[in-house]
Amino acid sequence: MEHKHIYDAQGKQLCCTQTEKIYTKAGTGELVKEHSKNDGHNHNEHSDEEGHGHSSDNDSTFKMFFPSVISFALLLIAIAFDNYFPQTWFTGWVRIIWYVAAYAPVGFPVVKEAIVAISKGEIFSEFLLMSIATIGAFTIGEYPEAVAVMLFYAVGEVFQTLAVKRAKSNIKSLLDQRPDEVTILQNNEAKVVKAESVNIGDVIQLKPGEKLGLDGELLSENASFNTAALTGESKPDTKEKGETVLAGMINLNTVAQVKVTTAYTDSKLSKILELVQNATAQKAPTELFIRKFAKIYTPIVVLLAILITVLPYFFVENYVFSQWLYRALVFLVISCPCALVISIPLGYFGGIGAASKNGILFKGSNFLDIIANIQNVVMDKTGTMTEGVFKVQEVVLKPEFNKDEILQMVNALESQSTHPVATAIHNFVGKIDNNIVLQNVEEISGHGLKAEVNGKELLVGNFKLMDKFSIKYDIDPTTIVYTLIAVSYDKKFVGYLTIADSIKEDAQETIDKLKTLGVKTTMLSGDKSTVVKFVANKLGIANAFGDLLPEDKVNKVKEIIGKNETVAFVGDGVNDAPVVALSNVGIAMGGLGSDATIETADVVIQDDKPSKIPMAINIGKQTKKIVWQNIASAFVVKGIVLILGAGGLATMWEAVFADVGVALLAILNAVSIQRMKF
């Protein structure tokens, strides 16, 4: 990548827009699209096209610095001739041409970009400011300072580009997790084919150390996988026959066979890459403000510089044009808003990258801002704070009913549902009896399932379902802690099954950390109140409500928001879609289990660990802190030096520090978030 390409990536905005374009292009924009189409190019080819191939990284960096090295060498020689080793020939036009030669490698690309920006209607760009300041310095004979200002500016821009590359590296690494080629079995023969050409139903053979290219179902008895690309967790995950395995997982031990269940472009990893690609489209309010500010601020600064040059003529007795022009030029150099417009989006890139590295995906930098101010985390119970792996504990049926017959009917009906309770019943009862014919199957939201068997009504669900259909029962559900599945057949109460779930191992840690952050916690669940209260009390969650329908959850969240509290709702992102839409931030657990989750939530926690909730809040807080530190430091330093420059107390050297120096300090601060441990 040549140095000038850093600047003309977009051409219409200041630093932040150009940086964003670089990020989108070289990081996840075009690369993602190319991978989605899969035109047959391998990763190395893509890398080489962008100048980021592993073998050419050093060459690319050297090329970026090369113009600055040439300029620096010529400048040092010129300063030596001027001050330490005077030469009789180093005067007049020879001296001017020498300094122009020193200026050219770093100055001409910027002047060119200023012209391009003007041709596109963006007159007041940072390129124009630097061009006016340095060319103006040449006109008044300040050759060394003119070259030095542009040289330091160019070096600063290279460092900014390297910082952007570093900031996006955690996200960009996802691109390497999806192989372009896979080995499939055809007529018991292994054949290497392009991943996008694989059909649903094909069988992939995966050797130890290989990455899976498409989502599928494990056909082998068992296999261990490294899921770090998807979850941020390097701990091996052992899958059993019939379980789902996902693109990007790395096979660790034995040769495994996987039956493809999802097209290449619809794989989980493709969804994640698309999410990351679009993450920067959602801008944080701070970032949007700085953009608008820069558009207004820059022309005002140019006008002030003109006034600094002209106005003193009417008020100063001994007016010297070159003196006041110099002050105006210093003022222009100082005024470049580069530190603001580069470091702020870079700070958000860093936050998104740090979250991605830890298996947390933000759909936009605006959600980093919002989550930093969350006051109340409202969470679902099942699958969020509990494992969501239910087991039947007890079966209590009235003696007049045949236990095996009833359980087979219940198993057949529950097979129509994907709810974890249905899985628990299936695991308990076993194989489904195909002789049972279900008719008019209906799922009643928040209640359960209804069907007809042998012309008689079968109801399986909670006791609200029994009440809804006026089924009389002789037990008090509130006296039983476990989740209850009530059954009625032919308008008669048959009995119930008790089902228990286990609390996730990091659930307690999650609640403790949220309390440390000063965040309130509330549990809302459709499960029975006794179970919800039991789990809440065990974890130390102050507010817990059970037996809630989807609309009841909405009303509870409305109540909390009505107290002027910002709310994050944590759930599956599908069943709880109304609450996710209502809350300030929707956080989805089970990013690996549901495509719809990725579509609906604002934040996706890929490994289902609730401990990632306080981690996400921490990342948001640190990102916001860094962004505001950069804003404050840039305004304070530039404000001081601007005043000094207008008063003639600051030279071009102070101006360089105020512009490039502050920008570099802000960039170093912005990328520091990626080295933090959360």
Number of other CB atoms surrounding residue 468 within 10 Å: 16
CA angle (659, 664, 669) in 5-degree steps: 130
Tokens of 530: 């006794």
Q: Look at the block and give the residue holding tokens 């209640």.
A: 447
Residues contacting residue 438 through CB under 8 Å, at least 6 positions apart = 412, 413, 416, 451, 452, 453
Strand locations in 159-302 (E): 181-186, 189-194, 203-206, 216-218, 222-226, 237-240, 244-245, 250-251, 256-260
Q: Which of 180, 237, 380, 602 is catalytic?
A: 380
Q: Let me know: does 627 contact 348? Beta carbons within 8 Å.
A: yes
Numbers of helices and strands, H then E, in the chain = 25, 22
Q: How far apart are CA 128 and CA 124, in angstroms?
A: 6
CA angle (469, 473, 479) in 5-degree steps: 120
Neighbouring-strand partners of residue 449 = 443, 460
Tokens of 437: 């014919």
Number of other CB atoms surrounding residue 642 within 10 Å: 19
Say how many Å lie between the first and final Cα of the chain, rounded. 34
Q: Let me know: does 99 contact 150? Beta carbons within 8 Å.
A: no
Q: Let me know: does 210 contact 220? Beta carbons within 8 Å.
A: no
Encode 122-191 in three state secondary structure.
Answer: CCCCHHHHHHHHHHHHHHCCCHHHHHHHHHHHHHHHHHHHHHHHHHHHHHHHHHHHCCCEEEEEECCEEE
Furthest-apart CA atoms within the chain: distance in Å? 119
Known active-site residue 380: yes
Q: Which residues are catalytic?
A: 380
